[in-house]
């Protein structure tokens, strides 16, 4: 699974060596996830355009995020989750194991995600991944061809879904934003939701923070619905499951022809589509259905997924040339769950009122070096930790919960 080192920890040494790239790619994706999330933690993403117009080069920063970061790295994580599922299923099959352990892992991942979203941050991905992991389990009997076709169809589903909701007059978020606003003490209008987010960011009172956070947790579900994130994530996970099957057969990492094609096609389609999406103002959320909104969904589909696959292909091609260099990402990748949760805590300390309360006091350009600093620190600490321990702290707790006993952690 994409948030553990499960994909490499329980195979023979030869197969372990082949799959080191997955840990490294996961660590690389952590950097992009961190950069994308810092825009939210800092409150930058919620600043209205009139405010941003008074900040030097703000438009360049937003263009950079739209062109290179937005959506690409959660796509890579989802792809890795699907690959990890295929590898775990193969391991269980070879060992004549039962699926109960895998299902327990999903349950506790979901539980960790729920705690994360209600107590710390509404942008959690763990709970969604757990639910999608169950969907993968139910679809595990599909053939390679069927998995691939279904995956790509799910990536296109947001276009049909957006149009259908629009024509039928269905609220894009099914009314959840209104419920979130009310939960935050507002009258159901969207401005109260933003006021709740601002309070969540600025309050120095832990009691107020947690009360606001509970209200904000409902927002996450509305966002997943309005952005059609659920079929997108499941679609890319299915493509990952197909890729995992090919990896097991030795027909993926060694296939440099496929990697070069994905790189070229992904960039040729993704770069112009990214420019188009930027011209449209980004993915349209918190707004009524419109022609511009439909076009933004199309542009998002054409830029995010092809470019994410191009990133993966480029990483694989570079891995053949300089595996020792890229392997620097492997240690944080093996502790991805720990590092993902730690990034939330670090961002809260830096930006939130219950921490240093820096918020949007500085130029958005500080977010890029800050993300680099966080990842470098996590890389160093992860490397030192794994010299003495077999798993990251969060990964170890997750495994102990899964197997219902205290497992050894020291090497």
Kindly state whether residue 302 falls inside one of the protein's structural domains: yes
- C-alpha 386/C-alpha 365 separation (Å) is 32
Q: Tens digit of pLDDT for each residue in 161-191?
A: 999 999 999 988 888 888 888 877 777 777 7
DSSP 345: H
- C-alpha 87/C-alpha 241 separation (Å) is 9
Q: Tens digit of pLDDT for each residue in 361-403?
A: 767 888 899 999 999 999 999 999 999 999 999 999 999 999 8
What does each C-alpha distance from 118 to 111, 147, 153, 252, 398 come to in angstroms? 11, 34, 32, 39, 19
Kindly state whether residue 410 falls inside one of the protein's structural domains: no
- The dihedrals phi and psi of 67, each to the nearest 5 degrees, come to -80, -30
Average pLDDT value for residue range 40-69: 84
Q: What does the block give as tokens for 393?
A: 């702290």
Kindly state whether residue 388 falls inside one of the protein's structural domains: yes
Q: How many domains does the chain have?
A: 1
Q: Tens digit of pLDDT for each residue in 229-246?
A: 999 999 999 999 999 998
Kindly state whether residue 408 falls inside one of the protein's structural domains: no
- C-alpha 141/C-alpha 143 separation (Å) is 7
Measured over the CA atoms of residue 194, residue 200, residue 203 and residue 207, the dihedral's sign is: positive
Q: Could you tell me which residues are beta bridge partners of residue 389? A: 410
Kindly state whether residue 409 falls inside one of the protein's structural domains: no
Q: What does the block give as tokens for 279?
A: 């011209």
Kindly state whether residue 1 falls inside one of the protein's structural domains: no
Kindly state whether residue 203 falls inside one of the protein's structural domains: yes
Nearest Cα to 248, choosing from 95, 89, 139? 89
Q: Tens digit of pLDDT for each residue in 322-359?
A: 988 999 999 999 999 999 999 999 999 999 989 988 87
Write the secondary structure of 254-266 as one string of H (helix), E (strand) and C (coil): CCHHHHHHHHHHH
Nearest Cα to 194, choosing from 13, 406, 43? 43
Q: Tell me, what's the pLDDT at 13?
A: 37
Domain residue limits at 226? 6-403
Q: What does the block give as tokens for 286?
A: 């918190």
Nearest Cα to 193, choosing from 212, 203, 180? 180
């Amino acid at each position: 699974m994409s948030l553990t080192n499960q994909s490499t920890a329980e195979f023979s040494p030869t197969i372990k060596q082949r799959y080191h790239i997955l840990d490294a790619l996961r660590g690389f994706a952590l950097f992009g996830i961190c950069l994308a999330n810092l825009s939210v933690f800092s409150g930058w993403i919620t600043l209205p355009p009139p405010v941003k117009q008074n900040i030097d080069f703000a438009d360049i920063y937003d263009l950079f995020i739209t062109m290179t970061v937005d959506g690409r790295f959660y796509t890579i994580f989802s792809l890795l989750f699907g690959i990890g599922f295929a590898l775990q299923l193969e391991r269980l099959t070879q060992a004549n194991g039962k699926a109960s352990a895998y299902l327990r892992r999903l349950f506790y991942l979901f539980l960790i995600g729920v705690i994360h979203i209600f107590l710390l941050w509404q942008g959690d991905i763990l709970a969604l991944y757990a639910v999608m992991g169950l969907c993968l389990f139910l679809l595990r009997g599909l053939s390679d061809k069927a998995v691939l076709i279904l995956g790509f169809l799910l990536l296109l589903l947001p276009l049909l879904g957006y149009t259908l909701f629009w024509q039928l007059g269905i609220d894009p978020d099914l009314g959840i934003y209104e419920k979130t606003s009310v939960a935050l003490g507002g009258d159901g209008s969207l401005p109260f939701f933003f006021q709740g987010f601002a309070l969540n960011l600025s309050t120095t009172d832990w009691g107020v923070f947690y009360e606001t956070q509970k209200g904000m947790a409902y927002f996450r579900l509305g966002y997943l619905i309005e952005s059609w994130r659920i079929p997108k994530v499941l679609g890319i996970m299915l493509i990952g499951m197909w890729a995992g099957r090919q990896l097991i057969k030795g027909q993926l990492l060694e296939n440099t022809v496929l990697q070069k094609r994905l790189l070229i096609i992904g960039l040729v389609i993704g770069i112009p589509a990214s420019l188009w999406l930027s011209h449209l103002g980004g993915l349209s959320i918190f707004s009524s259905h419109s022609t511009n909104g439909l076009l933004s969904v199309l542009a998002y589909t054409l830029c995010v997924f092809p470019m994410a696959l191009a990133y993966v292909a480029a990483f694989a091609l570079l891995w053949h040339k300089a595996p020792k260099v890229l392997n620097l990402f492997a240690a944080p990748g093996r502790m991805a769950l720990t590092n993902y949760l730690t990034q939330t805590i670090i961002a809260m300390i830096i930006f939130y009122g219950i921490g240093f309360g820096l918020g949007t006091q500085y130029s958005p350009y500080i977010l890029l070096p800050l993300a680099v600093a966080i990842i470098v620190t996590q890389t160093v600490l992860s490397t030192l930790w794994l010299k003495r321990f077999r798993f990251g702290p969060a990964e170890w707790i997750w495994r102990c919960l899964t197997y219902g006993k205290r497992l050894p952690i020291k090497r």
